[in-house]
Amino acid sequence: MGTTTTHDTVAAPAMGAANLTQSRDADVSFRGLVALGGASVVLYAAVAVLSHRFVFGEGFTERPLLAVLALFAACFALYTAAIALGVKCRADRRLAAAIIVPAIVFRLALLTSEPIQEIDVYRYLWDGAAAAHGVNPFRYAPEQVRAADADDGELPADLRHLAELRDRSASLGEALQRIHFGELTTVYPPVSQVVFAMAEWTIPAGASVFQRVTIFKAVLLLFDGATIYLVWLLLRMAGRHPAWVIAYAWCPLVLKEFANSGHLDAIAVCFTTAAVWLTAKSLFDSRCRRPALWGAAGAVFLGLAVGAKLYGVVLVPLLVGVAFVQVGWRHAVKLGLIALAVSGVLLAPMLLTEPAAASSPQSPQAGLAVFMTRWEMNDFLFMLLVENLRPSGASAGSSEVWFAVVPDAWRKALIEPLASRLAVDAGMAAFLVTRAFTSVAFLAVALGLAWRASRRRRLDSFLEAAFLTLAWFWLLSPTQNPWYWTWALPLLPFARGRAWWAVSGIAFAYYLRFWLAYHYPEGPVGGTSYGGQAFFDYVVTWIEFAPWFACLCVAAWRRDAPARDASGADGRG
């Protein structure tokens, strides 16, 4: 008895000292987090000020693009430090305020900024106006509306209505003129079009273009804010520290692409995250009273996500596979059919609308078809393959691609007969072959992730598989626009590999393409044979992605090393 009392007496002060030290460390971390939030506010305010030097169509070489990228790099450094400090803080209301208040201020600082190097928002505005006034936005390309004469009595009634709308509103007419690739019909699916129309209904009739853009971005930020809340719900369900919400709420890439550029992906990201949360709740939350209803709601939201932007469909195999193991094949099939049926119904207006014939020799092209069969931007894995399939002279940027190692005779023997059969040029044939190959590769990855998550039957495995499915879809895509990476960012806290955290930082390298195009429109860059855009495509993307892929592979090798060692020790190596 006496010995026990003595040990207890000695241990109590030691435990108290340890608790006091932890408390002090938590307080220091909290103060550091607040300081990082304040410093970030200053940086985002500076970005907002510089954004007003990005005047549409003017002064390309004078734009402070490098300065803006340096500011975002500083924001990214503070962001990573904030995550490291945040998870050391006490999980209380004070921490919640220290995270959410700066996140709101960051967005408000960029809300009234000019879009930096992105002009997709002008098509959103025009699409929303067309839909709000009862015209199918998938029917006419902007170029047709620009050329239409409102006084021409032979114009179709809906096209004449658009021409009158263009002439009646100076700001809408200006937005119409700012749309790029005006010969293409819109690629943005119907759910997003509904949001565009709703935003149009909130905009005053006499609003300027700047005011229209600002109001539209404010609508998108409602979806962005809902995503932050959904990430917090997922963290709570998984038993993770709430400070991991910083991974999305403070991410500079999210702030750039939504609060500044106004990309519509905020809508689909919100619906996709909701679908993941609802599905996780139905399958892994033992306190869920009506799991079948929650699961059906998750499938409906996944359908809404696909109806907002198509990428959400890649999560269907994961949803069905995990549900099959957790609750049986009948329910799994039901969820898959609900998701696909809702997606099909919502996409029907886009898929079934034929572009109206043009009165001019230039016929409109279906934007989605062009995007799926020709678009290539900021890619790496896709580029490696396609440039080793394209015959010489068929490359988009240069006739000489330094990493094209497959003999040209082999490429011609493979691609030219296919191009002749498909009645397309060799460049497009190579693109289609690469598209088919990477699609099959991604399908294998998606099914493998679904199978692994189904076997493990754990919430964290399901969420990690959802993240990896979206991440690899982006990495194997020919269009690796930085705002597409926001698709995976809400699930980033559930990724095990540290390399994934760097992607939202290195994705900003995409914007160097504009600087190179402005300053080296034709001349060679850095002693190479490439002009500005080709230098980005064939040099900068290697700097952007190659070291990152190397880190990812090394991390995966080290993570699997214990399993390999155990296998060898058991005589199974």
DSSP 378: S
Instruction: Decide if 276 is inside a domain.
Output: yes
Alpha-carbon distance 96 to 101, whole Å? 8
190-202 vs 265-284: helix crossing angle, rounded to 10? 120
Residue owning tokens 């000489």:
400
Instruction: Decide if 533 is inside a domain.
Output: yes
Confidence (pLDDT) at 150? 86
Whether the model pTM is above 0.75: yes
In this structure, the answer to whether residues 327 and 386 fall within a common structural domain is no
Per the structure, how many domains does the chain have? 2
Confidence (pLDDT) at 39? 97
Instruction: Decide if 287 is inside a domain.
Output: yes
Instruction: Decide if 122 is inside a domain.
Output: no
In this structure, the answer to whether residues 342 and 386 fall within a common structural domain is no
- Token pair of 471 as six digits: 């991440």
In this structure, the answer to whether residues 402 and 503 fall within a common structural domain is yes
Low pLDDT (below 50) residues in the chain: 1-6, 359-363, 398, 570-573
Strand partners, 184: 365
**Would you give the distance in Å from CA 99 to the centre of its chain?**
22
Confidence (pLDDT) at 20? 60
In this structure, the answer to whether residues 433 and 345 fall within a common structural domain is no
Instruction: Decide if 305 is inside a domain.
Output: yes
In this structure, the answer to whether residues 292 and 385 fall within a common structural domain is no
**What phi and psi, each to the nearest 5 degrees, are found at residue 393?**
90, -10
Query: Cα–Cα–Cα angle for 479, 485, 489, nearest 5°?
Result: 165
Domain C-terminal end among 323, 356, 389:
356
In this structure, the answer to whether residues 504 and 389 fall within a common structural domain is yes
27: left (phi > 0), else alpha (psi -120 to 50), else beta?
alpha
Confidence (pLDDT) at 399? 54
- The DSSP string of 361-375 is SS--B-HHHHHHHH-
Confidence (pLDDT) at 4? 45
Confidence (pLDDT) at 49? 97
In this structure, the answer to whether residues 549 and 448 fall within a common structural domain is yes
In this structure, the answer to whether residues 397 and 517 fall within a common structural domain is yes
In this structure, the answer to whether residues 317 and 432 fall within a common structural domain is no
Nearest to 185 by CA among 360, 356, 344, 372: 356
In this structure, the answer to whether residues 459 and 344 fall within a common structural domain is no
- Count the residues in the chain: 573
Asked if 492 and 501 touch (Cβ cutoff 8 Å), the reply is: yes
In this structure, the answer to whether residues 323 and 403 fall within a common structural domain is no
Confidence (pLDDT) at 559? 72
Confidence (pLDDT) at 328? 87
Confidence (pLDDT) at 555? 85
Nearest to 80 by CA among 221, 253, 266: 253
Instruction: Decide if 18 is inside a domain.
Output: no
Alpha-carbon distance 386 to 359, whole Å? 37
Instruction: Decide if 373 is inside a domain.
Output: no
Residue type, 453: A
In this structure, the answer to whether residues 351 and 404 fall within a common structural domain is no
Domain with 302 in it: 267-356
Confidence (pLDDT) at 396? 53
SS3 477: coil
Instruction: Decide if 174 is inside a domain.
Output: no
